[in-house]
Chain A
C-alpha cells in the first residue's frame, strides 16, 4: 500500500512537470524576466567622442544607470540608437544609458511580464497604439509637467495621452503610402492610380505570371490592421464603425482585389518587411508600405525604378499614423530617463535619428526642415496631415483583433463582407460598452 502511495506521489510530480509549461502561462514569468535583466548588462556602451562637451543635459539630481528597451530589428535603426547613446554617455559622466533589443513579437509579453514581476527598464520605445494600454496599466510615469510637447504634432501627442495626462514623448512618426514599380506600370500602359477603381484596374492589368498587381501586409494582428484601416478612413468612417456603409465597402474592395487575382492571399502571412521584400524582388507591382522602408530599399536595389504616391482614395485622402513613443517607467530612474529624453529630442540628435531611420519627426519645428528636396519623402510628409492614429484606448488591442479578423475572413473567403463587418462590430461594441 505504501509503495503505491509513494509511486502515485512521484508519478504525480513527474506529470506535473510535464504540465507546468502550460499551466503557468501568465502566473510565473518571474525567472525569465530575471535572466533577461542580467543579460542586458552585456553591452555597456563605450564613451567615444568626448570632444564636444557643450551643454551637458543632465540636471543636477539626475544620475545612475538608465536602461532602454526597443524592438527595431533593422540594423540601421539599432546603429543610430547606439550612436546617440554613446554620444550621450560620452558627454557627461553621471548617467550611463544602455539599450536592449527585445524582438517585436515578444515585446508586449516582456512588458506585461516585467510589469507583474517589477522587472522593467527605465525607458521603453514602443509602438504607439499600445501606449494607452500600458499607461492604463500604470507602469508609465506621468510627465505632464516635466516635458514640453507644445511644438509637437497633435496626432502623435494624442497617442501618449490618457485622461488628459501625458505619459510619454512621441519618438518619431511614419505613415503609409502607395509604392509602385515604374517599369511594370509603364509596361502595362497604366497611370498611377488615384481612386479605388483605378487601383483595381491597374492591379489587374499588372498581374501576370509570378507578379501580383498589389498587396499590403494583411496579418491578423496590429500590423495588418494598420495597413487595412486607411481603406475604412478613406470612406469617412472611423475605426470603431466597421459595420457601416464605409466599413463594408472597404471590406468589399479588399475582396474585389483578391477575386481579381491581383492581391495574393498569402499576404495574410506577410509582415510589412516581407511585403517590401516581395516588392523589391519584382513579385509585386504595387504595395502599401511605410516611410521606414526607404533607406533599406535605396541600399538594396539602387537600380530599381520605383516611386511613391498617396494611397488611392474613396471619398477622402487617408493614411495610417505609425511610429513609436518614448515612455518613462514609473518608479525607475525617472530623472535620468528624462534627462536622456531631453537630449534625444534636441534638434541635432533628433534629426540624426530621423534621417538614419527614415522617420518624420513628431516635433513640427524639426519636421519642417526635414527631407528638403527629397521628392519621395515629401510625399510622406504631405500624407502626414491625412494620417489617422489608432486609439488611443487601453483596449485597442481587442478592437484591432476584431478588425483584423474581419478582413482576414474576407480575404480568405471565410465569410462575406457584411457578415464579417457585423461580427467585428459586435465585438467592438461590447468593448466600448455600447
Chain B
C-alpha cells in the first residue's frame, strides 16, 4: 500500500497522465508498425494474401530489395530529392524570415500570405505544378521562352532528369513557409539589445548576422533541418500526382515505390520491406532530433 502511495507521488503521477495517449498510440501506431514488420518477414503475394500459407522467410525480402536496382534507384532519388529540397527551402525560408523580421508596412500581412503553400492540399499543388510544367501549354516554358532563356520548349515531365527537377521545385515551394515561420519565431527570441550594443561597438550587418543571429539560432536551425528532413523524406502524394514515379521510374521515391510494389504489383511483403527501410531511416533521424533537443534542454 505504501508503495502504491509513494508511486503516485511527484513525478510518477505523470506516467498516469500519459497512459491514455500511450494506449492510443500503441493501438493506432504501434500495431500497424509491428504488423508491417511481420508482413515484411513473410512471403505474401497475390497467391496467398487471403488464403494459403504465409511462410516466414526471415530477411529474404530485404536481401531481395537491396539487390533490386529499382530499390537502389528509389533510395538515391529519395536522398537527392530530400537534400535538394532541404537546402533551397532552408536558404529561401531563412532569407524571407530575415526580411519579415524587419517591421515594414504590411510585413505581418505578407508573412501571413506566404503561409498559403503550406496550407494548400498537396494534391491541388501537385496538379497545379503538373499543369505549369507541361511542355506545350505550361506557363514555365512560356516565361522561359519569352525571357529568351530557352528557344525550344523543355519537356519537363517527360524527360527523366528534368522531371526530378520539377518535383523538387514544387516541393521547395511547399516547404518554404514551414522554414520561414519556424525561423521567424526563433528570431523573435533573440533580444534586440544585443544588436543595439553590437551596433554601438561598430559591428556591421554581416558581423551581426554571423556573430549574433546564427549562433543564437542554432537550436532552431537544427530543429528546422531535422523536421524538414522527416517531412521531405516521406513525401508521397506530390510525386504520385505529378509523375506517378515516371518517366521510366526516374522520380520514384521509397514511398511511391513501396506503394507500387504493394498495390500495383501485388508484392505485399516486398512493399512493406521498402516501407520499413524508409521507417528505419526516419527513426534514426528522429532519434538524432531527440538527442539534439535533449542537449538543448540540459544546457
Residue numbers of A with Cβ under 8 A of B are 2-4, 6-13, 15-28, 108-109, 112, 115-116, 133-134, 136-139, 210, 220-221, 265-266, 268-269, 394-395, 397-398, 401, 405, 408-409, 412, 414
The answer to whether B247 and A25 touch across the interface, beta carbons within 8 angstroms, is: no
Contact of B39 among A26, A401, A414 (CB under 8 A): A26
How many B residues touch A, CB cutoff 8 Å? 66
Count chain A CB atoms within 10 A of each CB in B159, B246, B276, B282 and give the residue with the most. Answer: B246
Select which of A17, A19, A23, A268 is within 8 A of B247 by beta carbon: A268
Known contacts A13-B21, A137-B47, A401-B264; decide if A23 and B155 are in contact (CB<8 Å): no
17 A-B contacts, Cβ less than 8 Å apart?
A4-B294, A6-B15, A9-B18, A10-B18, A15-B230, A19-B33, A22-B278, A23-B29, A23-B279, A26-B272, A115-B49, A116-B50, A138-B50, A269-B158, A401-B265, A412-B159, A412-B160
A405 CA to B236 CA in the complex, in Å?
A: 21
The residues of B with any CB-CB pair to A shorter than 8 Å are 11-12, 14-15, 18, 21-22, 25, 28-33, 35-36, 39, 46-47, 49-52, 134-136, 155, 157-160, 230-231, 234, 236, 243-249, 255, 258-259, 262-268, 271-272, 275-276, 278-279, 282-283, 286, 289-290, 293-294, 297
Cα distance A346–B77 when bound, in Å? 53
Residues of B with C-beta under 8 A to A6: 11, 14-15, 18
The answer to whether A397 and B266 touch (CB under 8 A), given A20-B33, A137-B46, A210-B136, is yes
Closest residue of chain A to B249 (Cβ to Cβ) is A405
Majority-rule SS of B interface residues: helix
Indicate if the CB atoms of B51 and A17 lie closer than 8 Å: no
Q: Contacts of B15 on A, CB cut-off 8 Å?
A: 6
The 9 closest A-B pairs by CB, nearest first: A28-B32, A24-B32, A27-B36, A27-B35, A138-B51, A109-B263, A15-B286, A265-B158, A23-B279
CA distance A115 to B272 in the complex (A): 17
Q: Are B265 and A398 in contact, CB atoms less than 8 angstroms apart?
A: yes
Is A13 touching B244 in the complex (CB atoms < 8 A)? Answer: no
- Residues from chain A with a CB closer than 8 A to the CB of B22 are 9, 13
Q: B residues within 8 A CB of A19?
A: 33, 230, 234, 279, 282-283, 286
Chain A residues, Cβ within 8 Å of B283: 15, 19
Cα-based distance from A2 to B231 in the complex (angstroms)? 30
Residues of A within 8 A of B46 (CB): 133-134, 136-137, 394-395
Least CB distance, A360 to chain B, in whole angstroms:
28
Contacts of A136 in B (CB 8 A): 46-47
- Report the separation of the CA atoms of residues A204 and B265 in the bound assembly, to the nearest whole angstrom: 37
* B248, A412: Cβ atoms closer than 8 Å: yes
List chain B residues, Cβ under 8 A from A15: 230, 283, 286, 289-290
Main secondary structure of the interface of A (DSSP, over half): helix
Q: Contact between B49 and A116 (Cβ–Cβ < 8 Å)?
A: yes
The residue among A19, A21, A265, A398 with the most chain B CB atoms within 10 A of its own CB is: A19
A23 and B50 within 8 A (CB): no
What residues of chain A lie closer than 8 Å to B51, measured between beta carbons? 137-138
Chain B residues whose C-beta falls within 8 Å of the C-beta of A24 in the assembled complex: 32-33, 36, 275
Are B50 and A266 touching (Cβ within 8 A)?
no
On chain A, the residues within 8 Å of B39 by CB distance are 26-27
A269 to B275, CA, bound (A): 26
Closest to B291 in A: A8
Specify the chain B residue showing the minimal Cβ separation from A267: B158
A398 surroundings in chain B (CB, below 8 A):
265-267
